[in-house]
Amino acid sequence: KNEVEQSPQNLTAQEGEFITINCSYSVGISALHWLQQHPGGGIVSLFMLSSGKKKHGRLIATINIQEKHSSLHITASHPRDSAVYICAVRGGGADGLTFGKGTHLIIQP
Amino acid sequence: DTEVTQTPKHLVMGMTNKKSLKCEQHMGHRAMYWYKQKAKKPPELMFVYSYEKLSINESVPSRFSPECPNSSLLNLHLHALQPEDSALYLCASSQDWRRELFFGEGSRLTVL
Distance (Å, whole) CA B36 – CA A102: 15
Q: What pLDDT is stored for residue A95 in this prediction?
A: 65
Which chain B residues are closer than 8 Å to A35 by Cβ?
103
Q: Which residues of A touch B (CB under 8 A)?
A: 30-31, 33, 35, 40-45, 48, 86, 88, 90, 93-97, 99-102
Residues of A in contact with B56 (CB under 8 A): 94-96
Q: Identify which of B42, B45, B102 has the shortest CB distance to residue A86.
A: B42
Q: How far is residue B107's CA from residue B36's CA, in Å, rounded to a whole number? A: 10
Res. B55 pLDDT band, cuts 50 70 90: confident
Interface list for B 59-78 with A (CB within 8 A): none
pLDDT band at A17 (very low <50, low <70, confident <90, very high): very high
Q: From the CB of residue B25, how many other CB atoms can be counted at a distance below 10 Å? A: 23
CB A104 within 8 A of CB B41: no
What tens digit of pLDDT does each residue of B19-36 get? Answer: 999 999 999 999 999 999
CA A12/CA A104 separation, integer angstroms: 8
- Chain A interface, best mutation among B10, B38, B97, B109, by max A CB count within 10 A: B97
β-strands A52-56, A59-64 pairing: antiparallel
C-alpha–C-alpha distance, residues B37 and B90, integer Å: 7
| Record: contact B103-A96, CB cut-off 8 A | no
Hey, CA dihedral for B104, B44, A84, B107, is it positive or negative? Answer: positive
Provide Rg for chain A, Cα atoms: 13
Strands (E), A31-68: 31-37, 43-49, 52-56, 59-64
CA-CA distance, B25 to B3, in Å (whole number)?
A: 6
Please state the rounded mean pLDDT for residues A1-18.
94
Q: Torsion angle, CA of B90/B96/B100/B106, rounded to 10 degrees?
A: -10
Give the pLDDT band (50/70/90) at residue B92: very high
Rounded CA separation A34/A86 (Å) = 6
